[in-house]
Amino acid sequence: MVPAGSTLAGTPIESALRRHGQEGRLDGDRLALEARGITKVFGNHVALDAVDFGLRAGEVHALLGENGAGKSTLIKILTGAYQPDGGMVLADGVPISLESPQQAQAHGIGTVYQEVNLLPNRSVAENLFLGHQPTRFGLIDRRRMERDSRAILARYGLGIDPSSELGAHSVAVQQIVAIARAVELSGKVLILDEPTASLDRNEVERLFEIIAGLKSSGLAIVFITHFLDQVFAIADRATILRNGRLIETRALDDLTRTDVVRLMLGKDVAFSGATKLEESRPLGEVLAEFRGYGRKRSVHPFDLTVHKGEVIGVAGLLGSGRTEMARIMFGADVADEGTVTVAGAAVAITRPTDAIARGFGFCPEDRKAEGIFGELSVRENIVIALQGKLGWFSALNRDEQLEIAGKFGEAMDIRAASLDMPVKLLSGGNQQKVILSRWLATDPAFLILDEPTRGIDVGAHAEIVRTINRLRDEGLALVVISSEIDEVVAYSSRIVVMRDRELVAELNGENINPGVIVQAIANHREASPA
């Protein structure tokens, strides 16, 4: 398995390769594309650890896993964008080398990404034939190109004019053109990376018809998505990755949604005893009420009532609409449906300042891109939301800033050499504490925390969970989004479950239990609605 002189010789990775490589796997199936013992290491992070992946001709194979599971690394290796550090790729049982996307294409492997990466300002025909246009006397034979394009498009049920600009068509049509191009160019394996992420339901159905047609013509299709319903609707088999390891490859007929979610999240949660033992406390008065609140192509209208002194946990897979829900509640995105009442009065929240004025605060999921101001000091990062609330002309002076930053920094136990050091020099956990302190300084009534504990060290993690509990006891309302089911169970007084951009269940009391949550994430029909 491991080439002689490989840098991996003698390492645990090498032995892992050996282990997997020796396993007989020829089960009589003819595999259109096979990856054996693929290992990929970035620095000292093992992104893929001896992963096997087999793709049959004429199947739709779902590749599943949470963020960081290694899906995209595997795809990049199969399409020649990355070179594996160990393992091999075979096509029709013959080892092949994939050193560039062009080589992958030559071996019949085509890819379509979520964002259509064609040229929107060129014609449909040009996009179909880009790089291999039919020529006549050394010049592009435009007439033949358009004639051929028309024939190809007809096969995909598209009656559009091949000379029209690609960008003039809907994303769904562009997506189909991208698929047509990939199939025409490659013709054996089609990799679809989140093709449905920006499509509506009708468009998804249309895409599925095309996928079914391609499948019956013998194409091997890899389908990556966050939408479990779509996996069960179209895929034959699924491979589940977690933390760079192969967990399972199985026919979907043998799997329930609950199984899939359990395998993806990696906890045998159904038997976990982490049921909530705490006494149920009476609900405080209503702080905010969202009714039929939603945004097209982002999150379906939901109802949510937020009480003082409660933590509402939001559970759901990545891409289930959790973050989108948080963003429209805070006005970071504008809701186009529904109403919101705060303290009994109907209000409009169309931008963050509206929400902040009502006492809302929001810690975004992507700390670096949307949370911190790297070059500004810890002090300035903490006071900025309060200063934003005060406005341009009631500036806090340096001493006031130091006092506020010191007070909240101490309460959150921020480990910084000085309040005047740039926040980018702090660890991720301390940066998260800075952002929490920023909102606590505004004396909020309602905090929305999107994955507040992701990617931070154990100590900071515990501190943030402690803070969530302390704030609830002080009478704040909190909505906390987290992928850590045990964590959500531990601090939530109520849990709402998101699936496919929809709020599908609200769990109370005894139902705040990892098993019930996993079932609700997998399929709302199995869960008991509140």
Partner 1 sequence: MIRRFLGRLANPQVGALVGVLLINWLLFPNFFRVTWQDGRLFGSLIDVLNRGAPVAILAVGMVGVIATKGVDLSVGAVMAVAGAVAATLVVAGYPAPVAVVVALAVGFACGLWNGFLVAVLDIQPIVATLVLMVAGRGIAQLITEGFIVTFTDPVLIFIGTGSFLGLPMAAVIALVLMVLVTLLVRRTAIGLFIEAVGINRRAASLAGIRSRMLLMLVYALSGLCAAVAGIIVAGDIRGADANNAGLWLELDAILAVVIGGTSLLGGRFSVPLAVVGALIIQAMNTGILVSGFPPEFNLIVKAGMIFIILMIQSPFAVRLLPPGLLRRAASRGTEK
Question: What is the binding site for partner 1 (CB under 8 A)?
Answer: 330, 332, 351-353, 356, 362, 364, 369-376, 380, 384-385, 387-396, 417-422, 425, 438
Closest to 326 (Cα-Cα) out of 368, 286, 370: 370
- Distance in Å, CB of 393 to partner 1, minimum: 5
**Which is closer to partner 1, CB of 347 or CB of 384?**
384
CA 86 to CA 96: how far, in whole Å? 14
**Which is closer to partner 1, CB of 53 or CB of 330?**
330
Q: Evaluate whether 373 touches 423 at the Cβ level (below 8 Å).
A: yes
**Which is closer to partner 1, CB of 216 or CB of 418?**
418
- Distance in Å, CB of 391 to partner 1, minimum: 7
**Which is closer to partner 1, CB of 238 or CB of 386?**
386
**Which is closer to partner 1, CB of 137 or CB of 392?**
392
CA 47 to CA 6: how far, in whole Å? 18
| Integer-rounded Cα radius of gyration of the chain | 26
- Distance in Å, CB of 346 to partner 1, minimum: 21
Q: Evaluate whether 504 touches 304 at the Cβ level (below 8 Å).
A: no
Q: Where are the alpha helices (DSSP H) in 112-227?
A: 124-129, 142-155, 171-185, 201-216
Q: What are phi and psi of 74, to 5 degrees?
A: -60, -45
- Distance in Å, CB of 331 to partner 1, minimum: 9
**Which is closer to partner 1, CB of 239 or CB of 387?**
387
- Distance in Å, CB of 156 to partner 1, minimum: 35
- From residue 148, how far is each of 141, 166, 180, 314 by CA, in Å? 11, 16, 12, 50
Which secondary-structure segment (H or E) carries 329? helix 322-330
- Distance in Å, CB of 394 to partner 1, minimum: 8
**Which is closer to partner 1, CB of 307 or CB of 438?**
438
- Distance in Å, CB of 328 to partner 1, minimum: 13
**Which is closer to partner 1, CB of 191 or CB of 372?**
372
Q: Evaluate whether 77 touches 97 at the Cβ level (below 8 Å).
A: no
Q: Evaluate whether 447 touches 478 at the Cβ level (below 8 Å).
A: yes
- From residue 480, how far is each of 129, 379, 393, 454 by CA, in Å? 48, 25, 34, 12
Q: Which residue has the tokens 């186009």?
A: 336
- Distance in Å, CB of 399 to partner 1, minimum: 13
